[in-house]
A and B are shown apart, each in its own frame.
Chain A
Amino acid sequence: MRRMSGKTLYDKIWDAHVVDVTDGEAILYIDLHLIHEVTTPQAFAGLRANRRAVRRPDRTLAVADHNVPTEGQALGVDAVADLEARLQLQTLTKNVADFGIEYFPMGDIRNGIVHVVGPEQGRTQPGMTIVCGDSHTSTHGAFGALAQGIGTSEVEHVLATQTLRQKKSKNFRVNIEGEPAPGVGAKDFALAVIGEIGTAGGTGSVIEYAGSSVRALSMEGRMTLCNLTIEAGARAGLVAPDETTFDYLMGRPAGPKGGGWDMALSYWKTLFTDDDAVFDREIHLDAATIAPLVTWGTSPEDVVAVTGKAPDPADFDAPEKQAAIARALDYMGLTPGQPMTEAKVDVVFIGSCTNSRIEDLRTAAAIVQTAFLNGRLVAPHVRAMVVPGSGLVSHQAEEEGLDAIFKAAGFEWREPGCSMCLGMNPDRLTPGQRCASTSNRNFEGRQGRGGRTHLMSPAMAAAAAIAGHIADVRDFL
C-alpha cells in the first residue's frame, strides 16, 4: 500500500490559509498586506465607489518608496518636484488616514523600501501569507512566509476581504550545497539560478531554497535570494525558518512578545519540508563552482562570470538567438567577445530591495575601506551612490561609521527609497550611461531611458566604483 507522501513547506503554509475552495480556486487568507503609493490609488477608489471598508487595517502597513526623492525627505511631500508623483503620495496619505492604516511617511525613520521595512519591523513572520502590489514581494519568503506580488484589482480584493483568490502552484526545490569562494554570496547564487533555469524557468512554481549554502546565509542574504526569485519567473521563493530567522526576529517592534513569542516559536519550528515530500522539479548547484557574476545583457538571465566575456552571436546557430544577442549587445554598447572587465562604468548604484540592507552596506564598505587604506578612491569619472533601504538601515550604518567610509572614498550617501532601481523618481541614468547596479532588473530603460545596467553584488559594485570599470571583487579583498 502506498503511503501518502509528506508535505513541502509551501504545502503547509498553503493548507493553513485556505478559507474555502471552489473548482480548484482557493480563497486564501492573507496575514499581512503591504502597500505603497503607486499601485493602490485605484484600489482605494474602488473601495470608496462601492462603500466598502478595509477588513483588517491592523494587518495592513503602508510606506512611501517608489516615487520619493533621495534627498530633502524631512520636507515631506514638498520635497517631491514631480506633481504627479506628489499627488500619488498625497493620495496615499489621505487613503491611509481615511481607512485607519498604519503608515510610515516620507521622513519617518521607519520608512523605506516596502520589502526592507516589513522584515525590519518584525511584521514579516514565518508561516504568514504576505502580499503587496509589487512583484518583489517574494523577498519576504526568506522568513518561510508565502509572499507574492499582486495587481491593483487584487490589492482592492485583499483590502476588502483580507483574502486572495488563487490556484495552487507547483513545488520546485533549488538545492545549493558547499562552501562559496570568498567574495561570492547570495546575489551570485541568485544570478546563478536565473542563469541556469532562465527567466521563465520558475513559471507556475513556488521555489524553496535548501542546502547547506542557503542555511549558512544571513537573513539579508536569504532576502536577496528570494527577492530575485521573481526574475526566474516563479510566483514566490521560500527558505525554511531556523535559528538564524528566530534570532533576527527576536525583539523586533511588531514581533510576538512574552508568552506569544514562545507560542510563535513552537509553531515556526513546524515549518519545514517533510523528508518524504515530493517536488515537481528539483535542481542542484555547487556553491564552490560559482564565480562572482555580472549580467552583460538586458535580461537577468544574461549572466556571465566577471572573468568572462560578452557573448558572440556568431557562436550561436539559431538566427533568432543571434539577433537577440546582437540587439542586447548593441543596446548595452558592448562588442561581441568583449571581456566584461573592460566595460567602463559611469554610475555605481548600491541600493534597492535586493541589496540595501545593513549587511549589504557592510560588505560594500569593507571593500571600499580596504581600497581607501591603499590610497584608492572612487574613480574620478564615476558617480557612485549608496541608498540605504530604510531610515533605520541608514541610522544603523551611520552608528557603525559606514557612511563616513563611503563619503571619504567619494560615494554619495543618499536618503532611503527605491531610487535608481526603477527610474520613477529623480535618480535616473541618462541615455548611454553604464551602471554597475545592485538592483534586480536590467531591462532596457529600467534605470532611465537608454541606461545600461549590469547587475551584480554590493561587493562587486563597490569594486567597480573604485576601478572605474567592471572589476573582479577578488582583486579587492
Chain B
Amino acid sequence: MEPFTRLDAKSAPLPLANIDTDQIIPKQFLKTVEREGLAKGLFYDLRFDEQGREKPDFVLNRPEYKGAGVLVTGDNFGCGSSREHAPWALMDFGVRAVISTSFADIFYNNCFQNGLLPVVLKAEEVAQLMDEARGGNHVVSIDLETQRVTSPSGKVFAFEIDPQRKQKMLLGLDAIGETLGKTTYIDSYETRRALAQPWLERA
C-alpha cells in the first residue's frame, strides 16, 4: 500500500448525498481480473449516457477537473454493499482522498485497506470546500501528519482520525505490510522448520 502523508491535488465537487457503492462502481464491472482498470466503471451511470457517451456536464468529465485527486461529496458516502471494488475504482481513477461529513462504515474500513483517505469534516467546512472547488482554483492540500485540510483560498480545517489507522496510513501499512513487519519472525520460523523437517524443502 502507498503511504499517504501529504496530498496537493485538484478537488472536484460532487454535491450528492448517499452515493452508494452501486453508483461508485456498478455490478457489471465486478467480473474483472484486475483491481486496476476499474476506473472505466467509476460512477458509470453518472459519467455516461445510455449510448456510452460521456455526459459533458458531469463534474469529472469537465476539463477543469481532469486529474482531480480529491472528491468533496455529500453525506453518507459509500453506503450499500461491501464491495472493495469501490475504493479500487476510485484509486484507479486517481482519487486519493474523499472529503465528506460522513461515510458508510464498511466503505470507510475498505478505504484504509487500500490507502484511500476518507476525511470527515463539519457540514459548514465541507460546504466551504464545495464552494471553493466550484470556483477557479481547485487545489486543496491535505496533511495527514498534522490532520489538516487547507482550502484553495488558504482556510485551514482540522480533522479527526483513529491514531492507529493514521499511523498505518502514514507508513503505508496494510495487513500484509504489518505482517511483513514481522519478517524476522517468519525468517527464523522457516530456518527452524528447514532443520526439523528438511523434507518440506523441495530441491
Contacts and interface: CB of A to CB of B under 8 A. Distances in A.
Contacts of A267: 197
Contacts of B33: 41-42, 45, 87-88, 91
A161 to B, nearest CB: 5
Interface of B: 1-2, 31-36, 84, 113, 175-177, 179-180, 182-183, 185-186, 189-190, 193, 197-200, 202
A261 B199 CA distance: 7
A282 interface: no
Contact of B186 (A157, A163, A261): A163
Nearest to B88: A42
B132 to A, nearest CB: 32
B155 to A, nearest CB: 34
Nearest to A46: B35
Contacts of B202: 58, 254
B176 A20 contact: no
Nearest to A267: B197
Nearest to B201: A58
Given A42-B35, A50-B1, A58-B202, A29 B186 contact: yes
Contacts of B179: 27, 157, 160-161, 163, 165
15 contacts: A19-B185, A19-B186, A27-B182, A27-B185, A27-B186, A29-B190, A31-B200, A42-B34, A49-B35, A50-B176, A50-B177, A91-B34, A157-B176, A165-B179, A254-B202
B25 to A, nearest CB: 13
A197 interface: no
A162 interface: yes
A91 to B, nearest CB: 5
Nearest to A260: B199
Interface string A255-287: 011001101100100000000000000000000
Q: Which 7 A-B pairs have the closest CB atoms?
A: A41-B33, A260-B199, A256-B199, A45-B35, A91-B33, A161-B179, A264-B199
A317 interface: no
A165 B175 contact: yes
Interface string A22-33: 000001010100
Nearest to A162: B186
Nearest to A41: B33
B94 to A, nearest CB: 14
Interface in A366-414: none
Contacts of A91: 33-34
Contacts, number: 77
A246 B183 CA distance: 34
A360 interface: no
Nearest to A84: B31
A303 B152 CA distance: 66
A58 B203 CA distance: 9
A153 interface: yes
Given A41-B33, A162-B186, A163-B186, A157 B175 contact: yes
A160 B31 contact: no
Contacts of A49: 35-36
Contacts of A88: 33
A168 interface: no
B86 to A, nearest CB: 14
A21 to B, nearest CB: 10
Contact of B113 (A27, A84, A153, A264): A153
Contacts of B198: 260, 263
Given A42-B33, A157-B175, A163-B179, A20 B185 contact: yes
Contacts of B2: 50
A301 interface: no
Nearest to A37: B33
Nearest to A92: B33
A10 B186 CA distance: 21
A165 B179 CA distance: 8
Nearest to B179: A161
Interface string A126-161: 001000000000000000000000000100110011
B176 A161 contact: yes
A42 B189 CA distance: 28
Contacts of A52: 176, 180
Contacts of B197: 263-264, 267
Contacts of B185: 19-20, 27
Nearest to A164: B179
A157 B174 CA distance: 10
B111 to A, nearest CB: 14
A263 B34 contact: no
B195 to A, nearest CB: 11
Contacts of A19: 182, 185-186, 189
A165 B186 CA distance: 13
A55 B176 CA distance: 12
A163 B33 CA distance: 24
